[in-house]
């Protein structure tokens, strides 16, 4: 960072009467984290960065190599408008680096930056514009519920839509933070809402997605409401999606538009679609990152299930909206708001660019309702199926060399660890909800078959043998790091500290935007567990339950 930029930022911080700075970054799950510093430390942060222990951050590094540095991106500076102007608070979004100044390969922001630099070699800029949906639920005695705040429906207005004022306050706050809001409205389900903001380059947009969720949750809480970005918080009604509109620009022009081509879609656009469709199963792993995500991807609720494209059909995975010219774009409809936007955009761009470079032609567009087609009709038209579970999606990711190379081995291995953690949490939780048993057993079995990158089938068979033999020590070593064993048996750990309310798995699965909330709760109890005996007891409990 040049001395001129540092000097300019210090002047702005002083002019804004900022007294504290939040240095924000995201973990592998896309969850925002931050270190707060007094404004007097701003020059040090901008010049040298601020040190960080990355050993406790999801998807980062082991304790013996945990030293990292946060380096603020000056373009992301924003005042937090819900904080008082006097003695104000501002934030920077940071890049995560190693002590030697090199980028940390596990930083999701770095992964997206590398994908964008790769596309730039061919002269392309990747632009994205997401449509985030969310629910506003009531809170009772400071705890979230799934009670609707209103009974409104699609495009309803007050008095049926009781959240008009809340949305307006959110929009004003986002605008002050640099967003250009295009529209807001009540969505299809009760208490479901959408606020759309203007597209930008993918890195800027990913930063804004993280900021958007953080701001919406904060503003809702100030109104006594719980904002949930969970994909499917309630069975039987629409879930929340994050449709991503995207396009490539070259030499300042929309590369997807060709006025003389069929449908006015350029070859670049068609090949980009071809790449998206080819790699859609692997992209699903990060676009739909939780077990709950796959409860949304079912027929009947305007969410895609099949790998297809269309110019008008909303049952397709990829849709090309009607506007042309500079507004020509492709809408990728599977992502949900729990996704890490950096990894999702990186996967989409990597897949699309392979389509452009290899001239991958998509199959014929599906103009009919795909949900009404038979299996034979879909096979005839070359329409594949999206993964039906997180385990399937993870298997598809590991089988996709292109997307794995784009993420790098660190991120892929970390995604595997997170998936295993989610499955084992749910496997333990099913003890308290027998109705969940079949689903979790199936997904756990699929996960075992998937394994970690580099784990051989012989090793997988050894794991099954150890399970049957009740070889607890062997299982601890083969499946998980020893330190994980207690942490991943959330229900048992919570029971140990007497938090019976937290034992309700349905509640835990609903109110954690990913299943990280369950793991966090277990980590608190893990601090009370001591020695190998506790680890053995935890895994023994898992064995007896399966």
331 belongs to the catalytic site: yes
Are the beta carbons of 90 and 9 closer than 8 angstroms?
A: no
Task: Count other Cβ atoms within 10 Å, centred on residue 268.
Answer: 23
243 belongs to the catalytic site: yes
Distances in Å between the alpha carbon of 333 and those of 280, 313, 406? 11, 11, 22
The one catalytic residue in 131, 190, 400, 484 is 131
Question: Alpha-carbon distance 219 to 166, whole Å?
Answer: 8
Question: Alpha-carbon distance 174 to 151, whole Å?
Answer: 26
Nearest to 411 by CA among 394, 433, 391: 394
Question: Alpha-carbon distance 330 to 126, whole Å?
Answer: 12
Are the beta carbons of 515 and 436 closer than 8 angstroms?
A: no
Are the beta carbons of 147 and 135 closer than 8 angstroms?
A: no
Are the beta carbons of 276 and 354 closer than 8 angstroms?
A: no
The one catalytic residue in 161, 194, 354, 492 is 194
Nearest-10 crossing angle of helices 409-429, 437-450:
150
169 belongs to the catalytic site: no
Helix (H) or strand (E) holding 52: strand 50-53
133 belongs to the catalytic site: yes
The one catalytic residue in 58, 190, 331, 492 is 331
The one catalytic residue in 27, 58, 164, 187 is 187
Distances in Å between the alpha carbon of 175 and those of 18, 170, 185? 19, 9, 16
What are residue 226's phi and psi, to 5 degrees?
A: -110, 115
Distances in Å between the alpha carbon of 105 and those of 95, 374, 413? 11, 44, 12
Give the length of the chain. Answer: 546
The one catalytic residue in 193, 329, 333, 394 is 333
Question: Alpha-carbon distance 449 to 144, whole Å?
Answer: 37
Q: How many CA atoms lie within 13 A of 175 on its CB side?
A: 11
The one catalytic residue in 314, 378, 433, 448 is 314
The one catalytic residue in 243, 467, 487, 519 is 243
The one catalytic residue in 11, 14, 48, 53 is 53
- What Rg value do the Cα atoms of the chain yield, rounded? 23
What are residue 271's phi and psi, to 5 degrees?
A: -70, -35
53 belongs to the catalytic site: yes
Task: Count other Cβ atoms within 10 Å, centred on residue 105.
Answer: 16
The one catalytic residue in 133, 161, 492, 513 is 133
504 belongs to the catalytic site: no
Annotated catalytic sites, by residue?
A: 53, 131, 133, 187, 194, 243, 314, 331, 333
């Amino acid at each position: 960072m040049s001395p001129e930029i540092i000097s300019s930022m210090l002047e702005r911080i002083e002019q804004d009467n900022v007294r504290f700075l939040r240095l924000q970054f995201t973990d592998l799950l896309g969850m925002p984290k931050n270190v707060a510093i007094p404004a007097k430390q701003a020059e040090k942060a901008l010049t040298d960065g601020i040190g960080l222990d990355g050993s406790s951050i999801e998807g980062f590094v082991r304790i013996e190599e945990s030293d990292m540095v946060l380096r603020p991106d000056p373009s992301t500076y924003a005042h937090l408008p819900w904080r008082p102007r006097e003695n104000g608070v501002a934030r920077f979004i940071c890049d995560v680096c190693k002590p030697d100044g090199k980028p940390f390969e596990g930083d999701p922001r770095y992964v997206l930056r590398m994908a964008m630099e790769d596309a730039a070699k061919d002269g392309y800029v990747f632009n994205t514009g997401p449509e985030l949906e969310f629910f506003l639920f009531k809170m009772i005695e400071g705890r979230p519920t799934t009670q609707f705040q209103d009974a409104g429906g699609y495009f309803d207005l007050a008095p049926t839509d009781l959240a008009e004022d809340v949305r307006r306050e959110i929009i004003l706050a986002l605008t002050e933070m640099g967003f250009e809001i295009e529209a807001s409205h009540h969505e299809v389900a009760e208490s479901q809402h959408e606020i759309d903001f203007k597209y930008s380059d993918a890195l800027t947009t990913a930063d804004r997605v993280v900021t958007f969720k953080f701001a919406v949750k904060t503003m809702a809480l100030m109104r006594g409401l719980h904002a949930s970005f969970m994909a499917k918080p309630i069975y039987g009604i629409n879930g929340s999606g994050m449709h991503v509109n995207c396009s490539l620009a070259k030499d300042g022009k929309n590369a997807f538009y060709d006025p003389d081509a069929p449908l006015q879609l350029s070859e670049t656009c068609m090949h980009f679609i071809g790449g998206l469709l080819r790699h859609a199963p692997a992209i699903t792993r990060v676009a739909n990152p939780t077990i709950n995500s796959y409860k949304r991807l079912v027929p009947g609720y305007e969410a895609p299930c099949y790998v297809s494209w269309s110019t008008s059909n909303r049952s397709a995975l990829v849709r090309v909206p009607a506007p042309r010219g500079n507004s020509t774009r492709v809408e990728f409809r599977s992502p949900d708001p729990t996704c890490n936007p950096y990894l999702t955009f990186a996967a989409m761009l990597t897949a699309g660019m392979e389509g452009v470079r290899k001239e991958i032609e998509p199959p014929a567009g599906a103009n009919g309702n795909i949900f009404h087609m038979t299996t034979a009709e879909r096979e005839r038209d070359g329409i594949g199926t999206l993964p039906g579970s997180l385990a399937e999606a993870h298997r598809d990711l590991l089988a996709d060399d292109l997307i794995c190379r784009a993420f790098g081995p660190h991120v892929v291995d970390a995604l595997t660890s997170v998936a295993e953690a989610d499955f084992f949490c749910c496997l333990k939780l099913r003890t308290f909800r027998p109705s969940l048993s079949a689903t979790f057993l199936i997904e756990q079995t699929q996960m075992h078959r998937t394994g970690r990158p580099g784990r051989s089938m012989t090793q997988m068979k050894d794991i099954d043998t150890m399970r049957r033999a009740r070889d607890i020590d062997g299982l601890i070593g083969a499946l998980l790091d020893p330190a994980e064993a207690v942490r991943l048996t959330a229900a048992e750990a919570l029971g140990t500290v007497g938090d019976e309310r937290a034992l309700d798995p349905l509640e835990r699965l609903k109110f954690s935007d990913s299943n990280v909330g369950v793991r966090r709760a277990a980590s608190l109890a893990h601090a009370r567990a001591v020695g190998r005996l506790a680890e053995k007891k935890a895994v023994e409990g898992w064995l007896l339950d399966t």
